[in-house]
Amino acid sequence: MAEKALARVTRLLGIVSVLQHQDEASFEELGERFGVSAEQIRSDVMLLFTTGKPGGMPDEYVDFDPDALDRGIARLWDAQGLTQVRLSAREAVALIASLGTLVASGAAPAAAEPALAKLRDAIGSEPIDVVTDARVDPARVQPVRDGVEQRRAVRLDYVDAQDRRSERVIEPHRLVAIDGVGYIECWCRRAGDYRTLRLDRIVGAELTDEPVTTPPAEGLGFSLEPRFDATVTVHRSARWALEAMPGAQVSDDGEDVTASFPVADADFTAGRLLAVGPALRAVAPEALADAVARHARAVLDAQVGTP
């Protein structure tokens, strides 16, 4: 079954459902609600008109007020038992998992948690359950969310990927979750440039009275721009670690797995590669290999005192 037919049936049932909740709706309003043109809604309504019970008598078809239709308004007279249907298992998973991820990343607006709760109430805990376990302390990030909504600058106490702690004032533009990690896209006044800062590295935040004056940058996670492409080979038991690298292209080669992926911050990537140290086979280019070696020596120095 073509996906398109399913999408259209779902929208047609949605149109019926909306008209069961409210008296009437213009084609424009319905189009806006379902993300299609008013013209598409007109053609949807015409299709509904021809839907009816088997061997249909004239009164056994879905029926609309014909005068209203001429004015571009849908008013339902008879739905023949049609109404919107519950979420399928996959639909529930797709929506609940992404919403749960957004909440856990700390990037979700305040409305996300009640929305998640209402969805789970309506669907039940089957077939997916959300284990609440925020990566980011919501209270600590709250001033950043407030700053986004009220368009005010925020003073941040921030720890960067090299574990350097700094205080900076940012103009927050948008919260984003990329691969489950929450970031704030902002203008950093200290750097005088756009930055994408990880929410889980925020140690403290305080809302200021100063307004946001800079426009948001274009593009999602813009300052995560890659500096170079890395190629890393690991034993296949550590494949998951390479797949977790954003933008990774993974290919199998017998017992080994090779991935190439863009690297924005060699030190950060090196730190993550140490986690699969015993499975590591090859690291390129030299810039990344050097970072891994430097990291590994420093860890050994700290841990056992012999570099």
Partner 1 sequence: MADATARLLNLIVALTDTGRRMTRETIRATVEGYDPVPQGADAEELSRSEAAFERMFERDKDALRSLGIPLRTIQDAVHGDDIGYRIDSADAALPALDLTAAELAVLSVAGAYWEDATLGDDARQALTKVASAASSRPTEGVLAAARTRGSERAVSVLLEARDERRAVTFDYSSTTSGLQRRTVQPWRLLTRSGVLYVQGLDTDRGAPRTFRLSRVQGRVRPVGDEGAYEIPPELPAAFSPEQGGTALVAIRPEAGHALRARGEAAGSVEGWDLVRVEFRHPDAVRDEVLALGGAARIVEPAALAEQVAEHARRALEVAGG
Which of positions 241-280 make contact with partner 1 (CB under 8 A)? 243-244, 246-247, 267-268, 270-278, 280
Nearer to partner 1, 48 or 188 (CB): 48
Tell me the pairing of strands 73-78 and 63-64: antiparallel
Task: Give, in order, the Cα–Cα distances in Å from 138 to each of 22, 102, 110.
Answer: 37, 12, 10
- Of 64-72, 188-196, 222-230, 288-296, which part binds partner 1 (CB under 8 A)? 288-296
Tell me the pairing of strands 256-263 and 228-235: antiparallel
Picking from 55, 58, 32, 30, the residue whose alpha carbon sits closest to that of residue 44 is 30
Instruction: Tell me which residues in 181-210 interact with partner 1 (CB under 8 A).
Output: 181, 200-201, 203
Q: Which of 57, 58, 70, 133 binds partner 1 (CB under 8 A)?
A: 133
Q: Which of 37, 125, 213, 251 binds partner 1 (CB under 8 A)?
A: 125
Minimum CB distance to partner 1, residue 214 (Å): 14
Q: Does 304 participate in binding partner 1 (rule CB under 8 A)?
A: yes
Nearer to partner 1, 56 or 67 (CB): 56
Minimum CB distance to partner 1, residue 56 (Å): 8
Tell me the pairing of strands 24-26 and 165-178: unpaired
Q: How many whole angstroms separate alpha carbon 249 and alpha carbon 193?
A: 30
Minimum CB distance to partner 1, residue 177 (Å): 4
Binding mask 136-175 for partner 1 (x = CB under 8 A): -x----------xx---------x--xx-x-------xxx
Q: Which of 45, 76, 104, 230 binds partner 1 (CB under 8 A)?
A: 104
Do residues 281 and 259 make contact, with C-beta atoms less than 8 angstroms apart?
Answer: no
Q: Under 8 Å CB-to-CB from 210, ≥6 apart: which residues?
A: 152, 153, 169
- Sign of the C-alpha dihedral computed for residues 32, 34, 36 and 37 taken in this order: negative
